[in-house]
Amino acid sequence: MEKKFNFPDTGQIKCYNEEGKEKNYIKKEKLYGQNGNFIVNPIKLIKLGENCDKISESKNWEDGLRIIKDENTGLIWEVKSPIEEDINYCQDKYSFDEINEKYIKKLNSEKYGGRSDWRMPNKDELRSIVDYSKINPSIDTSFFENTIPGFYWCENVYEMQDYFGWVISFGMGAATANSKSTKRFVRAVCGGNDKMFGKCDASRFIDNKDETITDTTTGLMWQKGENERMSWYKSLETAQNMDLAGYTDWRMPNIKELNTILNLNYDNNWWYYKDQFPAIGLEPPLLHYFSSTTYNNTYAWVTNFCFGYDGYYAGKNAPLLFRAVRNIEIPVIESNEFKISDHGQRKLYDDMGNNFEKIEENEEFYGQAGNYKINPKKYKKLGERGKEVSEESKVEMIEDENSGLIWERKSSKKGDFNYSNKKYTFAEAKNFIEEMNEENYGGFGDWRFPNKEELRTIVTYGEEEFAIDMDCFPNTKNEFYWSKDVYKSDDKLIWGVYFGYGCTIAYLNTLKFPMRAVRGGHNKNYGDMYNYSFVDNGDGTVTDKNSKLMWKQEESPEVNWKEALKYCEELNLGGHNDWRLPSMKELGMLIDTSFANNNWYYEEVFPDTKSKPLGFYSSSNTFAETFVWGINFTFGYDGYYGNKKDGKYPFRPVRNV
């Protein structure tokens, strides 16, 4: 069965504003469309041993790592040896004309890695393993161990001056030409899912006769014509607003994509495929094209179609060219969908604290948290550079596959900078985040403070001693942990989560408490007090677009817990009859931590919220068997619980969209 070729991403996942500071952008915003906005085919590598057999990602050279397979392209790459006597010693260099005789033939005669089909890579093949999120070297060294950040030969001759050959710098990822007599590194390759990848063959292009060109190898559709010269910022906006050939999903190409349309044959003294991209009105030498890939935050990678180089980066305000691109088929990345993890409570109770093995639909007390298991928690243990590992390996991070949030795992070693027993004032906690990024903890430099609701996502409202999964988060303390959110009615107080039993409260910023850093996330707006997005459906319901929950907008009667459960289960509103009492994780999202108009609730969305006299709203979660967990909209806290049997409180029905 023929294996599918996927053109791999650049590895760049960050976006930046005009000052070079990291910032996330969403569609329709002017700076949306940067390389970091698009994850199509993430770099996906597997480790192989001496006979091309798959080995664990935790293995290294000493454990038998010899080959890397790129699952997107099917290309198989040698791993360089740290041993001087070995045939593929990492420090060995060759002139262009020496490579086949002195190196490739020896690899094949010795059947390195059990293969005898090793060859020099072409330029696009070699660039496919560049990781533009890294520098010195610009490659994932947890896979490609012993990589020296220098120039590596490609098989292609630089046809403008044929005594030069193409090289790619694995210091920063640029391609340029060097004299063939120069000694450079080489990395051999074999295999591949598409033999046309990187070949200078115009037959792979199809003219769609609608001002677009399709590349059948990469699966990319290109704008055929030219755009006027403009800044990088304007190029992003122009591509995003482009309507061409009936498509509106155009974007700027990343640097890997842009270079696939360089004609390395240099036909008729042009680096363009002129039949496909006629470049009408353009003349050398100023033929620089922007990519969407950034360099050093404030610059953009460009390709020079006058000399064929991309060893350039330009200021983002420079007036350059760009050519729009789109994917013909974008793979579905399931993990992109944000989900709120299950609350974790499985036991069922009545209002006297009696425990039941089962409560069926239509029976009394049905509809409590233990009856619903929505989005069961899905954690992955990660090691260096986010590679999935077992507990026997060094686990540095935990990924919540529902939310996409990746959490720091605290160390049990006293000398480590993220030792679990360390405590911080709020200001010191900010410094700790900076230290994590300076240390490049786990191979990443984008660690940040979690907001209150992000921190709540890892709370477990079960019956455990700690309100967290201690298998994934060992060494967690039975204490308050800082979030980034200031308690807006008193800015000396900071929100956080108490992991003894899972409530969110606020403490004085000069006190010392633990903290846990986070990165990533499928929804950058989740829990952001200034970016909640409610839609009034005009039928008595409101949808929260961030959480994908629908809420009853008007108030419900003040009743005890049993009656609230029954009310929700019997409710038919907005054409829906699957309403229920919300869990604590869900109800907590209705606290407006921005404290707009001195209210802890979203006044424009739920204007009749009963914040007085008690302000307590019931959830479906039980606390200590006989009490009901709830939220207090008078103070914004949820460190409260009410009497199940005799307490009569308001509540707000919810359903999943």
pLDDT digits (tens, 9 = 90+) for 275-310: 999 999 888 888 999 999 999 999 999 999 999 888
| Cβ proximity of 58 and 390 under 8 Å | yes
Domain co-membership, 186 together with 111: yes
**Residue-wise burial string across 109-139, b where 16 or more C-beta atoms lie within 10 A, e elsewhere:** eeebbebeebbbbbbbbbbbbbbbbbeebbb
pLDDT band at 77 (very low <50, low <70, confident <90, very high): very high
Query: In whole angstroms, how far apart are CA 7 and each of 74, 302, 308?
Result: 10, 19, 21
Write the pLDDT tens digit of every residue in 617-641: 999 998 888 889 899 999 888 877 7
Task: Give the 3-state DSSP-derived string for 434-492, with helices as H, strands as E and coil as C.
Answer: HHHHHHCHHHCCCCECCCHHHHHCCCCCCCCCCCCCCCCCCCCCCCEEEEEEECCCCCC
Tally of residues, the chain? 657
Question: How far is 509 from 25, CA to CA, in rounded Å?
Answer: 31
Residue 63: pLDDT over 80: yes
Helical (H) or strand (E) element with 548: none
Burial-class residue 285 by CB neighbours within 10 Å (0-12, 13-18, 19+): exposed
Residue 11 forms part of a structural domain? no
Residue 547: pLDDT over 80: yes
Domain count, the chain: 4
Measure CA 625 to chain center: 39
| Cβ proximity of 215 and 208 under 8 Å | no
Instruction: Average the pLDDT over 248-275 and give the result.
Output: 94
Query: In whole angstroms, how far apart are CA 645 and each of 46, 180, 369?
Result: 57, 85, 17
In this structure, what token pair is assigned to residue 503? 């409530």
Domain that residue 68 falls in: 43-191
Question: CA angle 231-237-238, nearest 5°?
Answer: 85
Average pLDDT, the chain: 91
Domain co-membership, 171 together with 211: no
pLDDT band at 333 (very low <50, low <70, confident <90, very high): very low
In terms of pLDDT, which residue wins out, 312 or 211?
211
Residue 196 forms part of a structural domain? no
Question: How far is 496 from 483, CA to CA, in rounded Å?
Answer: 5
Helical (H) or strand (E) element with 433: helix 426-439
Residue 21 forms part of a structural domain? no
Report pLDDT for 636. 86
Domain co-membership, 354 together with 457: no
Residue among 372, 548, 549 at smallest CA distance from 461: 372
Percent of the chain with pLDDT over 70: 98
pLDDT band at 443 (very low <50, low <70, confident <90, very high): confident
Domain co-membership, 164 together with 210: no
Query: In whole angstroms, how far apart are CA 243 and each of 31, 89, 236, 251, 512?
Result: 18, 52, 14, 11, 55
Domain co-membership, 383 together with 370: no
Domain co-membership, 359 together with 414: no
pLDDT band at 34 (very low <50, low <70, confident <90, very high): very high
Residue 26 forms part of a structural domain? no
- DSSP letter at 357 equals S
Which ranges of 19-148 would DSSP assign to H, the alpha helix?
99, 105-109, 123-127
Question: How far is 505 from 497, CA to CA, in rounded Å?
Answer: 6
Report pLDDT for 337. 75
pLDDT band at 81 (very low <50, low <70, confident <90, very high): very high
Helical (H) or strand (E) element with 185: none
Question: How far is 372 from 504, CA to CA, in rounded Å?
Answer: 23
Question: How far is 308 from 115, CA to CA, in rounded Å?
Answer: 33
Write the pLDDT tens digit of every residue in 337-386: 788 888 888 899 898 989 899 999 999 999 999 899 888 889 999 988 78
Report pLDDT for 285. 80
Report pLDDT for 323. 97
Q: Reduce the DSSP state of residue 649 to 3 states and report it.
A: strand
Report pLDDT for 3. 63
Domain co-membership, 111 together with 247: no
| Cβ proximity of 443 and 387 under 8 Å | no
Q: Reduce the DSSP state of residue 263 to 3 states and report it.
A: coil
Residue 211 forms part of a structural domain? yes
Stated pTM of the model: 0.57
Question: How far is 357 from 164, CA to CA, in rounded Å?
Answer: 77
Domain co-membership, 512 together with 647: no
* Domain closes at, from 165, 191, 217: 191
Domain co-membership, 550 together with 478: no
Longest dimension (CA), the chain: 90
* Domain closes at, from 191, 226, 261: 191
Report pLDDT for 464. 65
Domain co-membership, 48 together with 187: yes
* Domain closes at, from 520, 549, 582: 520
Residue 574 forms part of a structural domain? yes
Write the pLDDT tens digit of every residue in 193-251: 998 999 999 999 999 999 999 999 999 999 999 999 999 999 999 999 999 999 999 99
Domain co-membership, 226 together with 116: no
Query: In whole angstroms, how far apart are CA 71 and each of 128, 170, 399, 432?
Result: 12, 21, 22, 37
Number of H helices and E strands in the chain, helices first, is 9, 30
Strand 288-295's sheet: what is its strand order? Answer: 288-295, 299-304, 312-315
Residue 12 forms part of a structural domain? no
Domain co-membership, 385 together with 366: no
Residue 30 forms part of a structural domain? no
Residue 463: pLDDT over 70: no
What are the two backbone dihedrals, phi and then psi, of residue 236, each rounded to the nearest 5 degrees?
-60, -45
Report pLDDT for 332. 37
In this structure, what token pair is assigned to residue 411? 């160390």
Write the pLDDT tens digit of every residue in 238-247: 999 999 999 9
Percent of the chain with pLDDT over 90: 71
Residue among 24, 17, 29, 25 at smallest CA distance from 298: 17
Which CATH number is 542's domain given?
Answer: 3.10.100
- DSSP letter at 204 equals G
Instruction: Average the pLDDT over 513-530 and give the result.
Output: 87
